[in-house]
Structure 1
Amino acid sequence: MKVDLKIAMSNVIEVCTEVADFIYTEGTNFDRGRIEQKTSFNNLVSYVDKEAEQRLVRVLKNVIPNAGFITEEGTVEQSKSNEYNWIIDPLDGTTNFLHGLPIYSISVGLTRNNVPILGVVYHVVRNECFHAIEDDNAYCNGRIIHVSKIPTLQESLLATGFPYYHSEKKDPYLDIIKDFLEKSHGIRRLGSAAIDLAYVACGRLEGYFEYNLNAWDVAAGLVLVRQAGGKVTDFKGGDNCLFGGELCASNSHIQSEMLSVVQGQWNRK
């Protein structure tokens, strides 16, 4: 099946704009009594997440009728076996949203045979729509964006996140953070993986790394970074970063330095 990605992108941007308006409006008078815990006290969901996802799915079902869905809130039947699959996080940065911290986004990715080919990250409060498709430029609100030209880790600003679930890798991960703090301009923790990747794509950050990620956290951002001239790999330097749970993204200039730091701690016994 042949999909016109430019038409699909236009439809995705339109629905993301509408859903962003809904999220922003709800955030101005949010009912904290309707917060739910998923699997732990710090992994939260609200009626806003669920309603936003339903609105996105309702429209995207018609954009590519035979596409499957992989969504954070599971409001639609899940499948990654279709040729095309939408991968959706309706509100990336839920905890920020619930606390009134204005850093949260909508993330919509599209894969073909499990390869990301379209991505939209909509920063709700800043009203910034980052978007890209394969074999084209990356954009923010219609203007072409590029990764930073900063050539060294020492001059770079990085971002990371802290997983809800900590494994035996918690201590090596904290040591990676310590190493980066000593070897860069600093590390930021924004609370939205999709925004982290969008900011690498537009040059506000030079790099981003995290583990225990889900496909909906990164599917859209992968496309943005790659089409903006950046590099995205797993911690081994390979391509298993959509479903592999770990990711290292950069402006490409500092990728080898970042991977050297990550691997030095991550692979230790």
Structure 2
Amino acid sequence: MTQQSSLHPMLNVAIKAARAAGAIINRASMDLDILKINTKAPNDFVTEVDQAAENIIIETLLGAYPDHGILAEESGREHGNKTSEFVWIIDPLDGTTNFIHGLPMYCVSIALAHRGVIQQAVVYDPTRNDLFYATKGRGAFMNDRRLRVSKRTRMSDALIGTGFPFRRGDNFKRYMKMFEEVMVECAGLRRPGAAALDLCYVAAGYYDAFFETGLQPWDVAAGSLIITEAGGLVGNFTGESDYLHQREVVAGSPKIYGQLVTILAPYTRVIKAEEEVEAGTDTGNASGPAAALAAAAAEPKKRASVRIRKSNEA
């Protein structure tokens, strides 16, 4: 009996939805010249394929569980039951820019949260037909192979994934400082361009760790469970479990995760400062948002000690 034949019923429905979306994406990838592309914001694209893939996912999930809620990248919360304790968190095509260019690094990401805790996760890579999946407490798998994070313990040996900032208003200078600090400590940095797949690569041991800022819940929800079920840790830049909504994430094997958090912790405050600027709120002094921007542009403070949470807390 294969692992997939004994899966949780809700996970099986998510896998069915992910494969249906993957079939749409694969068909469209054969003829990118006729693809209709819209721009949500500079460098942030959505195609008719994103929307068709999202529609088939939602149709499949709500067909099986009509009382569940939906949080999806393209349609937000407009589908499903907005008061349900069960919420499906969906990215129908993570890596749209890669897809538009024919670069075969993109995926479908589907997670189920119950009362805010991720219980089921699927990430499907349609170009390689690789299916990553996990149920809370039952381990993580790629196809039928059990996943475990890498055993490397030294940063100098570590291969680390990241994502570059690309939206207008992102703090590129701050990211470059962060990038440089990590780069000189590790064996190499990679940026394929699909965060959900990057997180699965940590779970599979291809990377030893991953970090990125500016991510949304649908980018990290499924991958975060797959990592913790593979024995890894996930958190924000200070090692705490508020990563789904804080727009920053660090993930990795326990030893490398701890060392990476130590490097990145001084940069966590820049996210908060940028959000204060966006919201137009005061930071406690006369300058308000201007001061927040100044703080964001300043050099990071001396590294503080950080608390590393265990995987069952993440």
115 and 161 in structure 1: CA distance in 2 versus 1, 3 angstrom threshold: same
**Superposed counterparts of 1:22-33, under 5 Å:** 22-32=24-34
CA distance in 2, matches of 1:25, 1:217: 23
Relative to structure 1, the CA distance from residue 17 to residue 150 in structure 2 (aligned partners, 3 Å threshold; closer, same or farther) is: same
Structure 2 letter corresponding to 1:60: L
Query: How has the CA–CA distance of structure 1 residues 114 and 265 changed in structure 2, closer, same or farther, with 3 Å as cutoff?
Result: closer
Contact 1:194-1:220 within 8 A present in 2 as well:
yes
Classify the secondary structure of the residue corresponding to 1:154: helix
Paired position in structure 1 for 2:3: none
Q: State the AA in 2 paired with 1:206.
A: D
Aligned pairs (5 A) from 1:1-269: 6-32=8-34, 34-40=36-42, 42-74=43-75, 77=78, 81-165=83-167, 167=169, 169-267=171-269, 268=300
Q: 1:5–1:118: 8 Å Cα contact kept in structure 2?
A: no
Secondary structure at the counterpart of residue 56 of structure 2: helix
The Cα shift of 1:243 comes to 1.4
C-alpha RMSD of the superposition: 1.9
The residue identity in structure 2 corresponding to 1:226 is T
- Superposed displacement of residue 23, structure 1: 0.6
Secondary structure (helix, strand or coil) at the match of 1:102 reads: coil
CA distance in structure 2 between the partners assigned to 1:81 and 1:176 by the alignment: 39
State whether residues 165 and 175 of structure 2, in contact with CA within 8 Å, keep that contact through their aligned partners in structure 1: no
Give the C-alpha shift of residue 12 in structure 1.
Answer: 1.3
TM-score with structure 2 setting the length: 0.80
Q: Which has the larger radius of gyration?
A: 2
Per the normalisation by structure 1, the TM-score is 0.93
Higher strand share: 1
Counterpart AA for 2:158: S
Separation in structure 2 between the aligned mates of residue 76 and residue 22 of structure 1, nearest angstrom: 23
Q: CA deviation at 1:164?
A: 3.1
Note the C-alpha offset of 1:32.
4.7
Output one character per residue of 1:217-248: Cα deviation in whole Å (capped at 9) or x when no partner: 00100110000000000112111111111100
Is the partner of 1:175 in helix, strand or coil? helix
2:153 match: secondary structure: coil
Looking at structure 2, the residues matched to 214 and 80 of structure 1 have their Cα atoms a distance apart, in angstroms, of: 19
Deviation at residue 14 of structure 1 after TM alignment? 1.9
- Structure 1: distance between partners of 2:91 and 2:170: 27
Q: Give me the whole-angstrom Cα distance separating, in 2, the residues matched to 1:105 and 1:143.
A: 19
Q: Which moved more, 1:141-150 or 1:61-70?
A: 61-70
Secondary structure at 1:74 match in 2: coil
Q: Could you say what secondary structure the match of 1:25 adopts?
A: helix
Task: State the distance in 1 between where 2:254 and 2:7 align.
Answer: 26
Q: Which has the higher contact order (CA 8 A, sep 6+)?
A: 1
Query: SS at 2:200's partner residue?
Result: helix
Q: 1:31 deviation in Å?
A: 3.6
Aligned residues: 265
In the TM superposition, residue 204 of structure 1 has moved relative to its aligned partner by: 0.4
Shift of 1:82: 2.6
How many Å separate the matches in 1 of 2:87 and 2:33?
33
Aligned amino acid, residue 67 of structure 1: H
Q: Which runs of 5+ in 2 are unaligned?
A: 1-5, 270-299, 302-314
Task: Summarize deviations over 1:170-226 as a string: whole Å, max 9, x none.
Answer: 322211111111111111001000000000001000100011110010010011000
CA distance in 1, matches of 2:71, 2:225: 17
For structure 1, the 5+ residue unaligned runs are none
Over 3 Å counting, the alpha-carbon distance change for 1:239 and 1:53 in structure 2 is same
